Amino acid sequence: MATMASTATAAASLRLAFPLLSAPASSSSYSNTLRFPLRRRSSCRPLAVAAFKKLSEASPVPIPQEPTQPLLVDEDALPPKAGVYGVYDAAGELQFVGISRNVRASVEGHRRKVPANLCASVKVAVSDEEAPDRSALNNAWKSWMEEHIAATGKAPPGNVAGNHTWVGAPQRPPDLRLTPGRHVQLTVPLEQLIDRLVKENRVVAFIKGSRSAPQCGFSQRVVGILEAHAADFVTVDVLDEEHNHGLRETLKAYSSWPTFPQVFVGGELVGGCDIISSMAERGELAALLIQK
């Protein structure tokens, strides 16, 4: 039972809209993802994961309700450093857990962007290091999410996929194409191109239509599930006869699976819409996606 519970907790956390690294927001613009990486530490220095407090150990800091006034908070309580933070509403309910390279600036951005009753206090945890490793920040974020989900059975509203009050809509990468065009003569068999594609990318979804505009309900559901799990996945349009000519029939033979969409993880076929949906409901998909 303990194993099942821990799996369910991890699964729930991975269904969330994962805000990799929040950039400082302002009243005029707001970005939820850093456009540049944090400075890497020397490889000989250990990750400072233990330096971050647990969510339950952090003390809440009141936030002034008037957004036009400066954020009058002691920098020791709300420092301009990289870290994780949780924003609470006026009733003391956790609304959002985020990561930022500048916690103070991000909280200030939230205070100016969201309704005052949703941004009444904040808990913060920062590393002792000036520029903590990205993975240390991500692990701290996950631990806060798992702690909250274990205590309440649900995710903070602002971290649920589709809620853009705190985190902007994700930018979707373009679909992959197997060939430059139908007129180009292939130098290797199409089966080999498929095999290379699914093995060089962690998660691949062969769908009808594009990622931004699926052409069938099953493909749309699979894209939605993978995005809700914050999966790092690529898509291939099996209806694109110009750049993926012959893909549908060749892929059916390659995977021994007659329908679409088809989802591959780690080079292996997982299944179509029904299987992906069922695995997501049981928490098995999240466990699969987190594996290396």
- Token pair, residue 273, equals 């819409």
Terminal Cα-to-Cα distance of the chain (whole angstroms): 24
Question: Digits of tens for pLDDT over the chain (292 positions)?
Answer: 444 444 444 444 444 555 544 443 433 333 333 223 333 333 333 333 446 888 998 889 888 776 556 665 666 678 888 889 999 999 999 999 998 888 888 888 888 888 888 989 999 988 777 777 778 888 889 899 999 999 999 889 988 877 878 876 667 788 999 998 888 888 899 999 999 999 999 999 999 999 989 999 999 999 999 988 878 899 999 999 999 999 999 999 999 999 999 999 999 999 999 999 999 988 899 888 876 4
- Residue 28 contacts by C-beta under 8 Å, 6 or more apart in sequence? none
Domains of the chain: which residue ranges? 60-152, 190-290
At residue 1, the pLDDT reads: 45
| 163: three-class secondary structure by DSSP | coil
| Cα gap 58→54, rounded to integer Å | 6
Task: Tell me the sheet residues that pair with 205.
Answer: 235, 263
197, 204 Cβ separation under 8 angstroms: yes
Task: Evaluate whether 55 touches 200 at the Cβ level (below 8 Å).
Answer: no
Compute the distance between CA of residue 151 and CA of residue 246 in angstroms, rounded to an integer.
51
pLDDT of residue 169: 63
Tell me the CATH architecture of domain 60-152: 3-Layer(aba) Sandwich (3.40)
Contact 149, 102 (CB under 8 A): no
190-290 placed in CATH 3.40.30.10: yes
- Asked whether the beta carbons of 118 and 93 are under 8 A apart, the reply is no
Which tokens hold the place of 92?
A: 């003391």
Q: Which of 68, 128, 78, 135 is nearest to 102 (CA)?
A: 78
Burial category of 57 from C-beta neighbours within 10 Å (exposed 0-12, middle 13-18, buried 19 and up): exposed
Could you tell me which residues come within 8 angstroms of residue 178 by beta carbon, excluding any fewer than 6 positions away?
Answer: 190, 193, 194, 197, 236, 243, 244, 247
Helices (H), the chain: 2-14, 103-113, 134-152, 190-200, 217-228, 247-255, 273-282, 284-290
Residue 14 has a pLDDT of: 42
2 C-beta neighbours (distance < 10 Å), count: 6
- Within 10 A of 36 (CB to CB), how many other CB atoms are there? 8
